[in-house]
Structure 1
Amino acid sequence: MAGIDAARGLALLGMMATHLLPTFEANAALTPTWVGLTFSGRAAALFAVLAGIGLALSTGKQQPLDGPALTAARRGIAMRALVIAVVGLALGGLDVNIAVILVHYAVLFLCILPFIGLRLKALCGWAAGWILLSPLLAFLLRPWLMAADPPLQLNHNPGWEDFTTSGQLLGDLFLTGYYPVFLWISYLLVGLVIGRLALTAAIVPVLLLLGGTAVAAFSKVLGTAAMEQWGGRAALQEILTDPSYPLDSLLQVNLAGVRQEGSWWWLAGSAPHSGTTLDLLHTSGVAAAVVGLCLLVGRLGQWLALDLLLPLRGPGAMTLTLYTAHVCVVASFHLKPLPVGWTEDGMYFAHAALAVMIGMVFVILKWRGPLEWLGHAANQVGRHQPARIR
């Protein structure tokens, strides 16, 4: 678990970076920054893939549960998802310029329940099929949802009040929002595949690192070629409804705010948050490579008798608590000037350093984070199987 927690900590720090540091330069061309080029799309995807890995590890590892044990595990996951959803809906009431992932994350947990009992071969088939076909179905369905009056999209984080407009809420959660669940099921399926592997075997982390890197590189090269060499970007620039956004920069950092309709070329790229097959492949490959690297570093630390992963696995063991605290702090500064002497870089360093230090303290003392404790308790309640009376 140390390597998995470390990868989760890295995902948390990456998401914090995209929240606090600019992903575009403040110029007319919206030149991508190193933060946008490095973390945008990848950190959140890593977070989702790790959710699938965690579910696999808690439901039998290489041998998935079955029968009453599987039913109890599904109840526990559903109860944990309820806790995450409540936290996410509460954060949805904050005035903050962050796309909060928690409600979508909770819905993903519920949507993945039918796949929890599948074995590795079946999971590989489902993951491959979902990555290939879900972008096409989403591309066909999104224009229909956006053509509704009003469009089935929230344009803000889901909150309690959105239950009064259930059509918009469901449309946003599954297809039109920042983290479309229908597409992101791909990440949890990939995570289940990874979690069903023999992660303790010496060769598996190496295969994850090398295979993930190869898939990520291939999909990014292919997507870039489709846009830049085969005419994709030029064709899309002609139909872009808002030409004030430089498509070149958006394709490198974040395509979430662009209406992807009117041309099949939208399906050919690998831009972050585009939800195409190549985007899903690239970000899944990056996630697999990061997990493999963290597992290898963990083994190196065991060989050296040093806990090399402690600064990452500390915050990774309590991401729900730290993510929630991070969003609340960012909300407290929303539309307000930074304190005198503070910069965006300094603000990020403070968030990251506090997350690392708090996480390390909790791991050393073997404590659960407050929200992790609540989620664990909910999971245990859901898994409880009353003794049969004979």
Structure 2
Amino acid sequence: MIQRRLTGIDAARGIALLGMIATHTLPLYNQETGYGTLTGLVFSGRSSALFAVVAGVGLALLTGGSQPHEAKAVNRDRRGIAVRALIIALVGLALGGLQTSIAIILFHYAVLFLLALPFVGMPLRRLAVWTGAWLLASPVLAYLLRGWLLENLSPAEIDGNLTWDSFLAPATLAADVFVTGFYPVLQWLSYILLGMVIGRLTLTNLPVQVGLLAAGIFAAVTSKFLSYYLLGSLGGFDALQATASGQRWPLARMLEVNLSPVEQTGSWWWLALAGPHSNTSLDMLHAAGTAAAVLGACLLLTRARPNLLLPLSAAGAMTLTLYSLHVWVMSVVDLQVPPLEPMPVFWIQATIYVVLAILFQRIEARGPLEFLTSGASRLARGKSGAGTAARKR
């Protein structure tokens, strides 16, 4: 059965893409005041999380959506997903060789796809239980592992993006990918699993769309308030400022924008944070809630008029190609002396990518990298791959 593609999902993915481009090109802090800029306050941490949650939705839809495939078909789906992950990883490693300040997500994205393989055949209720447990337990395990790794492994993380040379230090590579790096997949699997739970729902139903919007807003707001209570009223923030990292970094400002450079060791109070890229349960609940709300809103807006968000949905249908193009463009931009003004750099790229995506859609063509990954995935599935691929997202 061929299903109508849900352009709201593509639109949400397009928002994630443009949000990440914004954080890569526009300043996250005001150089004069030290406060976070609008870009940093709105998009930092949330755009990449939205990207991962929608990826989980895509995996669920690839494996049957609200009507999961049977065991034999799921095995074919797993082969297809594994090949897709391999290609994404190769693209990520190729981009990692470029000179850029962007923390490239693609290799971690591919590892997340592989880690999701045991979950793609799970019934919804069991998958939901796993998701909740992973969301709560993974930050605790990461906290324990992070301290041990930083003490016993030197270096404990990769300096810069992953390249083929990173495989020469397998222990450091594993530590970086799973725990100590910018996108620690140990915790980030929570986003993929939550996306898979969402993708198992009947996303065409109005109550589901409204529920995603309402539940997402509730989760995002509640997690922030709980973190503020723990850090403020219960004294958690003062305890963190007494740690080595708390004395080294301006935590109050970083809590609003980006905590990725902070070495979160020395106090269990780090788990009470909800700041971007702190990768705690409260941070992931907030970012995932935001992602669910955005997805619900996009599905509602495109419910009656699928092309209402065309600039976003067109870009969201070819994010692998456009993201890769963006990383290459920024590797050139970063070399310019004097530096280019960030605002034109963002708007020129965003405009070109959206126009390019709409042109591809008009001629009913996929992006080059989407065409490659989709074709290789169908081949890996075998003879029945075409039938599986006919279910549109």
TM-score interval for Structure 1 and Structure 2 normalised by the shorter chain: over 0.9
Q: 2:44 and 2:204 mapped to 1: Cα distance?
A: 30
Distance 1:208 1:241, change over 3 A: closer
Task: State the shift of 1:361 in Å.
Answer: 1.0
- The reply to whether residue 354 of structure 1 matches residue 359 of structure 2 is no
Note the 1:312-351 alignment, pairs <5 A: 312-337=312-337, 343-351=341-349
- The residue aligned with 1:31 is 35
Tell whether the 8 Å contact from 1:2 to 1:298 is kept in structure 2 after alignment: yes
Give the 3 Å change call, closer, same or farther, for CA 151–204 of structure 1 in structure 2: same
1:367 to 357, 365, 369: 365
Cα distance in 2, alignment partners of residues 226 and 358 from structure 1: 47
Tell me the distance in 1 between the aligned counterparts of 2:335 and 2:290: 34
Which deviations, in whole Å up to 9, do the C-alpha atoms of 1:282-315 show, x marking residues without a partner?
011001000000000001425xxxx211110011
**Counterpart of 2:22?**
17
For the 8 Å contact 1:81–1:109, the answer to whether it is kept is: yes
- Indicate the residue corresponding to 1:246 in structure 2: 250
* SS of structure 2 residue aligned to 1:337: coil
**Equivalent residue runs for 1:138-153 within 5 Å:** 138-153=142-157
Shift of 1:355: 1.3
TM alignment of 1:174-323, pairs within 5 A: 174-241=178-245, 243-301=247-305, 307-323=307-323
> d(CA) in 2 for partners of 1:269 and 1:86?
34
Counting only pairs closer than 5 Å after superposition, residues 85-100 of structure 1 correspond to structure 2 as: 85-100=89-104
Q: What letter is aligned with 1:249?
A: R
Q: Is the 8 A contact 1:12 1:47 kept in 2?
A: yes
Deviations 1:156-196 (A, max 9, x none): 11101111111111110011000000100000000000000
User: Cα distance, 1:81 vs. partner?
Assistant: 0.4
Residues 338-387 of structure 1: CA deviation (Å, up to 9, x unaligned): 57xx5211110111111111111111211100000010011011101499
Is this contact kept in 2: 1:85–1:102, CA < 8 A?
yes
2: CA distance, partners of 1:32 / 1:86: 34
Aligned identity (percent) is 49
Deviation at 1:82, TM superposition (A): 0.5
Output the amino acid matched with 1:128: G
Q: Distance in 1 between matches of 2:335 and 2:228?
A: 36
CA contact (8 A) 2:65 2:200 kept: yes
Q: 1:6 & 1:131 partners in 2: Cα distance?
A: 26
User: Matches of 1:242 and 1:217 in 2, distance apart?
Assistant: 25
Which sections of structure 1, spanning at least 5 residues, go unmatched? none
Aligned counterpart, 1:376: 374
Letter of the structure 1 residue corresponding to residue 377 of structure 2: N
Equivalent pairs, count: 380
Structure 2 contact 240–246 (Cα < 8 Å) conserved = no
Residue 391 of structure 2 corresponds to: none
Q: Is the counterpart of residue 7 in structure 1 residue 20 in structure 2?
A: no
Using the alignment, how far apart are the partners of 1:149 and 1:72 within structure 2?
39
CA contact (8 A) 2:231 2:272 kept: yes
- State the secondary structure of the residue aligned to 2:136: helix
Q: Following TM superposition, where does structure 1 have runs of at least 4 consecutive aligned residues deviating by more than 6 angstroms?
A: none
Partner of 2:61: 57
Task: Give the structure-2-normalised TM-score.
Answer: 0.94
Q: CA RMSD in A?
A: 1.5
Instruction: Decide whether the 8 Å contact of 1:210 with 1:289 is kept in 2.
Output: yes
Cα distance 1:242–1:94, how it changes in 2: closer, same or farther (>3 A)? farther
1:122 aligns with one of 120, 126, 146: 126
Contact 1:8 1:50 in 2 (8 A): yes
Deviation at 1:128, TM superposition (A): 0.4
Cα 1:14–1:386 change in 2 (3 A) is closer
Corresponding position: 1:75 with 2:79 = yes
Corresponding residue SS for 1:125: helix
Instruction: Name the CA shift for 1:242/1:156 in 2 (closer, same or farther; >3 Å).
Output: farther
Unaligned runs of 5+ in 2: 1-5, 386-393
The CA distance in 2 between the partners of 1:150 and 1:81, in whole Å, is: 29
Mapped partners of 1:91, 1:224: distance in 2:
38
Counterpart CA distance in 1 for 2:336 and 2:219 is 42
